Amino acid sequence: MTRGCDFCGLALPPSYWGRPGEDAGPAYCCFGCRFAHAVAQERSDRAGPSLVLARLGLAIFFAMNVMAFTMTLWSGDVYGSEPGAAAPLLHGIFRWLCMLFALPVLILLAGPLAANAFDALRQGRPNIDLLLLPGVLASYLWSVVSVVRDDGPIFFEVGVVVLVFVTLGRWLEATGKAKASAALDGLRKLLPETAHVVRDGAESAVPLAEVRPGDRLRVRAGERIPCDGRVVAAWAAVDEQLLTGESAPQAKQPGDAVIGGTLALDGDLVIDATAAPDGGHLGRLIALVRAAGLTQGRYQKLADRVAGRFLPLVALLAIAATAYHGWRGGVPAGLTAGLSVVVIACPCALGVATPLAAWVAVGRLARLGVLVRTSAALERLADVRAVMFDKTGTLTVGESAVTELIIDPAQDRDEVLNAASVLAGASGHPMARAVARFCPAQCVTAVVGMKTVPGRGVIDESAGRMLGSPAWLTASGMHWPSGLTNALHRAEQTGQSVTAIAWGGTVRGLFVLSERLRPGLSDALTRLNEMKLSAVVLTGDTVYRARAIGSELGVEVRGGLLPEDKVRLLDEYRARIGAVAMVGDGLTDAPALAQADVGIALGCGADVARESAAVCLLGDELALVPETIAIARQTVKVMRRNLVWAFGYNVVGLAWACSGTLSPVVAAVAMVVSSAFVIAGSLRLAGGSLVAASSAPAEVVSPAA
């Protein structure tokens, strides 16, 4: 990874000849960042006026005067109608005044610009200012000579306006980049600004940065916990939804761990900090989001490739335009044409066209509780045509429960329950857990030699006992007593899940399970449908059950699938419809998530480092799936628009400037407008819900007042 700019954090352009070790000093991606950094530093160093800005203010003052005198010279309005000798005298005086007011602007603004250009040159990153400066200097020099000789045209206003607008424009860009960068760190806002530290029995408010591991902190009801820690006194319900996805408030008592950034709801807590505020769970999350922002998507790679060839191209064009127009129309015409080429060229619009949009979107998604691991994933998400849901653990709420136990009349009920609880205890599958909960706990005895067969069930090989799907038991040669077969058919026809237990060649009992579908699921599916995305639910349940779910939800449900079937089906859909996103819990369906164009894992808040999917929902709010896709689509739209604008603007602008009919003054204004367009478009991504949804949890970010 290349080094980031010291102000905005954007990756620096590659160094052509600077040696890595020489990068010790501050490095900025552009003059604007250097300028903005100076302003920001001054502000933090001391309260009071900014000298850097005062220089800019003074330069603007002089520039306005130069423009006023220039307009007077152009129009001849003030003295033109005066007959006699006064007119030439006044004309000469105004020329001198122009020069007098223009020179300070050169000193005030060209100095810092030159310093930045030479620093960049030393670090091996030549930039466009290296072309700008000679142009401005030459226009000044020519005008000064004209004034002194009292002959020939002057164009101080060109240099003055270019300097002022370039400074303003670069500063504007840097401000926009810093804003986008701040959006990337939006999760940091979950932390309070100060923490109440208890030392020697006395409590004092200290800035968050001074909190160290081991400090004892008090957190009042309604406040956010400043860092990871362990409760030492008192108790409170803590809202951890944003970071762990756990929607119900968690009761915390002495000895419990708490996470920085979570909200103490109803009581005061005293905690011992176990990590610094920037470390810990939230710190890791912020670092992941930032890392995602710094990765390059395909659009950015494209922009970078072009930007790399941009500078030499502009240099060639500028020299050619200067030479041609200088030869045709004299030195002033050549100088203004060359300067126009350099000023209108806006590599910045190219440079910030995509990363800014990606940053703002990634930051916004993080605040919604969606972690996108790379910019490329965001771009792929926008291309998705179908969304597949893995049913188990994704569409059903919590865990299913056993509603009925059907036993072969010849069988002892307690024996079946005992055997089932032993087998179920060995598996983490939701159905096995439901069986385990159903069975009385006291009869469990530890057994070795258990084996889980993915997608099928559990087998105790020593005793030859099996718990799992009826199909598997049949395939294993188990005999079905007629009573159980009828019950099985009944259950399957109503679409209920069944798990069966068997040993000694005979099926002994059936557990009929029912599950509740997640609330908000049908809304999410409707919205996906509105977005013209095909939604498909994949499940390992029987075809009957799949049909029942399908008719309940109104979507296509494919049942009776083993993990490898899911992967095969995914490929089939991709070939038929297009890019596919797979939504799952990231545990049982890891292969399918990895195989999909974009894997979306639910409920990974507790374990964000899990690398199972490109997109992780910290919670399990399904409404975020369409919202995330909508934001991704919007982001890619903005990226494309920015790129088209940046390319189009540069091509048209450069062509116009090369023709020699574009005034550098107009070019300077156009350059600022172009940057502002790109930046404003990207920053707008930060606001508002894109999907008209009432249930989208956009409010969860608002820190407690």
Partner 1 sequence: MNECLLALFGGLAGSAHCVGMCGGLVVSLGVRGQEMAALRRQLIYAAGRVFTYSFAGLAAGYAGLRFGSELDTWPAGRAVLQLVGGLALIVVGLELLGLLPWRAKGDAGCLGPALFEGLRGSARGVFFAGMINGLLPCGLVYAWLAVAFSTASLLRGAAVMACFGVGTIPALAALGAGARWLPCSARHTLARVGGWIVVGSGVALVATAAYGFVVTPVDCPLCGPHGVG
- The catalytic site residues sit at 390
100 binds partner 1 (CB under 8 A): no
SS3 of 611-666: the string is CCCCEEECCCCCCHHHHHHHHHHHHHHHHHHHHHHHHHHHHHHHHHHHCCCCCHHH
168 binds partner 1 (CB under 8 A): yes
Q: Which of 23, 43, 268, 669 binds partner 1 (CB under 8 A)?
A: 43
**Among residues 53 and 471, whose Cβ is nearest to partner 1?**
53
Name the one range near partner 1 by CB under 8 A: 72-80, 112-120, 340-348, 361-369.
72-80
238 binds partner 1 (CB under 8 A): no
86 binds partner 1 (CB under 8 A): no
- Binding pattern to partner 1, positions 176-195, x when CB under 8 A? x-------------------
SS3 of 224-251: the string is ECCCCEEEEECCEEEECHHHHCCCCCEE
Bridge partner residues of 616 (DSSP): 371, 601
77 binds partner 1 (CB under 8 A): yes
Alpha-carbon distance of 232 to 268, in angstroms, equals 11
Name the one range near partner 1 by CB under 8 A: 165-173, 214-222, 272-280, 692-700.
165-173
Read off the DSSP letter of residue 601.
Answer: E
**Among residues 104 and 626, whose Cβ is nearest to partner 1?**
104
Q: Closest distance between partner 1 and the C-beta of residue 173, in Å?
A: 11
Alpha-carbon distance of 160 to 153, in angstroms, equals 16
Q: Mind giving me the DSSP string for 670-704?
A: HHHHHHHHHHHHHHGGGSS-SS--SSS-GGGGSPP
Q: Closest distance between partner 1 and the C-beta of residue 1, in Å?
A: 30
- State the residue for tokens 């045509």: 385
Alpha-carbon distance of 269 to 195, in angstroms, equals 12
48 binds partner 1 (CB under 8 A): yes
Which uninterrupted H or E stretch holds 450?
strand 450-453
Q: Closest distance between partner 1 and the C-beta of residue 434, in Å?
A: 56
**Among residues 39 and 510, whose Cβ is nearest to partner 1?**
39
Name the one range near partner 1 by CB under 8 A: 39-47, 114-122, 340-348, 401-409.
39-47
56 binds partner 1 (CB under 8 A): yes
**Among residues 43 and 641, whose Cβ is nearest to partner 1?**
43
111 binds partner 1 (CB under 8 A): no
50 binds partner 1 (CB under 8 A): yes
Q: Which of 67, 343, 548, 690 binds partner 1 (CB under 8 A)?
A: 67
75 binds partner 1 (CB under 8 A): yes
- 653 token code pair: 């602008």
- State the residue for tokens 């005992």: 418
175 binds partner 1 (CB under 8 A): yes
Alpha-carbon distance of 94 to 102, in angstroms, equals 12
- State the residue for tokens 């490095």: 27
Name the one range near partner 1 by CB under 8 A: 21-29, 45-53, 157-165, 209-217.
45-53
90 binds partner 1 (CB under 8 A): no
- State the residue for tokens 């296509």: 556
The distance in angstroms from the start CA to the end CA of the chain is 39
Which uninterrupted H or E stretch holds 467?
strand 465-468
* Residue list 678-697, contact with partner 1 (CB under 8 A): none
Q: Closest distance between partner 1 and the C-beta of residue 68, in Å?
A: 5
237 binds partner 1 (CB under 8 A): no
Contact 343, 166 (CB under 8 A): yes
Q: Burial level of 687, CB count in 10 A (0-12/13-18/19+)? A: exposed
31 binds partner 1 (CB under 8 A): no
Alpha-carbon distance of 606 to 618, in angstroms, equals 8
Q: Closest distance between partner 1 and the C-beta of residue 7, in Å?
A: 14
172 binds partner 1 (CB under 8 A): yes
Q: Which of 4, 68, 447, 520 binds partner 1 (CB under 8 A)?
A: 68
Name the one range near partner 1 by CB under 8 A: 7-15, 69-77, 198-206, 574-582.
69-77
Contact 543, 560 (CB under 8 A): yes
Q: Where are the alpha helices (DSSP H) in 330-450?
A: 331-344, 347-352, 355-368, 375-383, 413-424, 430-438
* Residue list 313-372, contact with partner 1 (CB under 8 A): none
412 binds partner 1 (CB under 8 A): no
Q: Closest distance between partner 1 and the C-beta of residue 127, in Å?
A: 21
**Among residues 171 and 480, whose Cβ is nearest to partner 1?**
171
Q: Burial level of 563, CB count in 10 A (0-12/13-18/19+)? A: middle
Alpha-carbon distance of 169 to 545, in angstroms, equals 62
- Among the listed residues 165, 162, 146, the one whose alpha carbon sits nearest the alpha carbon of residue 154: 146
Q: Closest distance between partner 1 and the C-beta of residue 245, in Å?
A: 36
39 binds partner 1 (CB under 8 A): yes
Q: Closest distance between partner 1 and the C-beta of residue 680, in Å?
A: 9
666 binds partner 1 (CB under 8 A): no
SS3 of 80-100: the string is CCCCCCHHHHHHHHHHHHHHH
Q: Closest distance between partner 1 and the C-beta of residue 71, in Å?
A: 4
**Among residues 168 and 478, whose Cβ is nearest to partner 1?**
168
The type of residue at 294 is: L
> Within 10 Å of residue 385's Cβ, how many Cβ atoms?
16
Name the one range near partner 1 by CB under 8 A: 42-50, 308-316, 438-446, 591-599.
42-50
Q: Which residues contact partner 1 (rule: CB under 8 A)?
A: 39, 43, 47-50, 52-54, 56-58, 60-61, 64, 67-68, 71-72, 74-75, 77-78, 168, 171-172, 175-176
